[in-house]
């Protein structure tokens, strides 16, 4: 049976978007999708560039707002921070297993070189977490 994993972050334009694309590319028995508690309209160029470099941009979906039916179809909700879990618990009366991974947001106000480095580092962290949870 395929496990359906929902990744949740704030804008669904960085962490959860990457986690969805990486999981779907790397974990055959897991089907993933991602949403944001306050979905953004855009994706940072630096995020797009890093996902292209990792061969994942074609698997990325556009940012989408979290809805109740997303939680209903998920077997597991992976929240990037505790406040995402709190939003789920306070706004949706859906019983779904939920975990928090403590993956930090990256400030867009950083100088470009540092921003790119932090994006890459965050993607490395997500790859490790996904691999440990769904591959090993």
pLDDT tens-digit series, residues 73-97: 999 999 999 999 999 999 998 889 9
Per-residue model confidence (pLDDT) at position 136: 65
pLDDT at 2 over 80: no
If pLDDT is split at 50, 70 and 90, which confidence band does 50 have? very high
Q: How far apart are CA 95 and CA 98, in angstroms?
A: 9
Domain boundaries, the chain: 3-134
Q: How far apart are CA 18 and CA 59, in angstroms?
A: 9
Distances (CA, A) of 129 to 2, 23, 34, 44, 85: 19, 10, 16, 23, 18
Counted residue by residue, the chain has a size of 136
Name which CATH class applies to 3-134.
alpha beta
Kindly report the number of other CB atoms within 10 A of residue 66's CB atom.
24
């Amino acid at each position: 049976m395929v496990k359906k994993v929902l990744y949740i972050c704030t804008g669904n334009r960085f962490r959860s978007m990457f986690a969805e694309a990486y999981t779907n590319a790397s974990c055959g028995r897991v089907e993933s999708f991602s949403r944001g508690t306050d979905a953004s309209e855009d994706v940072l160029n630096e995020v797009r560039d890093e996902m292209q470099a990792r061969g994942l941009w074609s698997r990325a979906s556009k940012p989408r707002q979290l809805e109740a039916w997303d939680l209903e179809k998920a077997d597991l909700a992976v929240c990037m921070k505790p406040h995402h879990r709190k939003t789920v618990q306070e706004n949706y009366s859906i019983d779904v297993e939920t975990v928090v991974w403590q993956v930090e947001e990256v400030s867009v106000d950083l100088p470009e070189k540092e921003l790119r480095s932090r994006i890459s580092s965050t993607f490395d962290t997500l790859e490790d977490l996904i691999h440990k949870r769904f591959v090993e």
